[in-house]
Amino acid sequence: MKRKLGIYVTSNQHLPQLVKLCEAAKRMDVDVDVFFTHLGCSMMKEPLFRELADLTNRMALCLVCFKEHGGELPVPGLGEEDYATQERHCDIIDECHRYLNF
């Protein structure tokens, strides 16, 4: 079974580190699932955010927080099913071998 890392992003201050972590995981053949909530949802407009789509297995975000922080649809790299609730976050936790929080 392939290793999987889950990342929970609540801050908008660590996007460069998140990208570097995902790059390292990809080099190590580790899938990465990321869930964005709270201030993490405000990073979607950053140019660096687009790189995550190619580095992750799956990304999702809390639609309620996304709207609260002025998010506009669509977000590059996210499909319609990726605008989710905290239930998706629970799925990611359940499916991952390791879990980090930014």
Q: Which uninterrupted H or E stretch holds 24?
A: helix 15-27
Q: How many residues does the chain have?
A: 102
Identify the three-state secondary structure at position 49: helix
Residue 11 confidence class, pLDDT cut points 50, 70, 90: very high
Which residues is 59 bridged to in the sheet? Answer: 34
Give the separation between CA 35 and CA 9, rounded to whole angstroms.
6
Look at residue 36 in the predicted model and tell me its pLDDT. 95
Question: Is the Cβ–Cβ distance between 45 and 16 less than 8 Å?
Answer: no
pLDDT 10s digits, 18-43: 999 999 999 999 999 999 999 999 99
Check pLDDT > 70 for residue 46. Answer: yes
Domains and CATH numbers, the chain: 4-101 (3.40.1260.10)
pLDDT 10s digits, 47-91: 899 899 999 999 999 999 999 988 888 888 898 889 988 888 888
Question: Is the Cβ–Cβ distance between 83 and 66 less than 8 Å?
Answer: yes
Which pTM does this prediction carry?
A: 0.91
Question: Is the Cβ–Cβ distance between 42 and 71 less than 8 Å?
Answer: yes
Q: Please compute the mean of the pLDDT values over residues 5-26 and round it to a whole number.
A: 96
Give the separation between CA 8 and CA 27, rounded to whole angstroms.
20
